[in-house]
Amino acid sequence: MNIRDDFLLYDNKEINKNVLLSAKSKRRMKKAKSDNTLKSYSADWNDFTDWCEAAELCPLPCKPEDIVNYINDLADHAKANTVSRRVTAISENHIAAGYQESNPAKHVMVHNAMQAIRREKGTFQHGKSPILMETLPLLADMLTGKDLVTLRDRALLFLGFAGAFRRSELVAVQMEDLTFTTQGLVVFIPQSKGDQMGAGSQIAVPYAPDRDICAVRAVRAWIDAAGLTTGPLFRGFKRNLQPRDTQLNDKAVATIVKKYMARLGLNPDDFAGHSLRRGFATSAAQHDLDTLSIMRQTRHKSEKMVHRYIEQGNLFKENALNKMYER
């Protein structure tokens, strides 16, 4: 077997040769991890096997010393979080290959090496800049056109912020997932990154007092103008600028965000599709919303990331020097 085969192929091979499993069962069992997780781990594993090939070492099974030497080479140009993810990929692939008890990635030597790398490089993640609530009126001033492109972009930006959507969730919204009520809009999310088991969640987006930044009205205007009844809410356009039948690519969300941030005179490289979701959480913290309320809208399962947003939102609000100025 080629050691460079896709990540967890070893696990899949065991599934494939199990004669007691039906074809349907085999297909579903291979989805134990999300596609995005497998892609990331596959790239990480391939990087390790490349390093092993250059060093003339066997990657599976490898020795703890091999992992320590690899991550120290990697740490010369990678962040601590990237190094940690690579170790996880190495560990998962050894587990999948049957080395659960003798997993070299779990060796204390590897643990100590990772601790040293974290201490040296730090673990702070420099995320993209948030699009804050105070930015929405500025966007509204630019998005006054009645053409389909402008109406779509307005709906996408305002709904992305109001629902704290991940870009993958935003482009996956279907017309059938929308329920308009007298209070606003309810968006059903069948499955997302934080909901791998597909329990689903409902996101409530109320009408905004300021019509110019109202996500519900923006979505309704886009739907009516585009004549949408079924299928994806957000779509690309044909050459004649009529909406396509297929959903927008999630990378297009970042492109749209960057486009309007540049028009505001900001550096588009500082922003991405995640800026909408991050902007909601940061703005919510600035408006003194409690952690549970923020998590209910963002669907975070852990308080750790939400607390980071709260800390960022309160950098100036809880600043000791500001309090001294006030006195």
Choice among 193, 287, 301, 317 that is catalytic: 193
Q: How far apart are CA 88 and CA 41, in angstroms?
A: 8
Q: Where residue 1 falls among pLDDT bands split at 50, 70, 90? A: very low
Q: How far apart are CA 308 and CA 305, in angstroms?
A: 5
166 catalytic, yes or no?
Answer: yes
Helix or strand run (H / E) with residue 141: helix 136-142
Instruction: Domain ranges for the chain, please list them.
Output: 9-121, 133-313
Beta bridge partners of 185: 180, 205
Exposed (0-12), middle (13-18) or buried (19+): which is 285, by Cβ within 10 Å? buried
Choice among 86, 166, 167, 258 that is catalytic: 166
pLDDT computed for residue 125 by the predictor: 53
Q: Which of the residue ranges 83-97, 163-177, 245-259 would you say has the lowest mean pLDDT?
A: 83-97
307 catalytic, yes or no?
Answer: no
Q: Both tokens of residue 230?
A: 């079924």
SS3 313: helix
Q: What is the pLDDT of residues 8-49, one digit of tens each?
A: 544 455 555 555 667 766 565 555 556 666 677 788 888 899
Q: Strand (E) positions, the chain? A: 178-180, 184-189, 201-206, 235-237, 243-247
167 catalytic, yes or no?
Answer: no
pLDDT computed for residue 40 by the predictor: 74
- The fourth-level CATH superfamily of domain 133-313 is Intergrase catalytic core (1.10.443.10)
Percent of the chain with pLDDT over 90: 46
> Among 3.30.1380.20, 1.20.1630.10, 1.10.150.130, 2.60.200.30, what is the CATH number of 9-121?
1.10.150.130
94 catalytic, yes or no?
Answer: no
Asked if 179 contacts 188 with a C-beta cutoff of 8 angstroms, the reply is yes
Q: What is the pLDDT of residues 191-233, one digit of tens each?
A: 655 545 556 789 999 999 999 999 999 999 999 999 999 999 9
Q: What is the pLDDT of residues 39-78, one digit of tens each?
A: 777 888 888 999 999 989 999 889 999 999 999 998 888 8
Q: Using alpha carbons, select from 106, 105, 92 the residue that is nearest to residue 11.
A: 92
277 catalytic, yes or no?
Answer: yes
287 catalytic, yes or no?
Answer: no
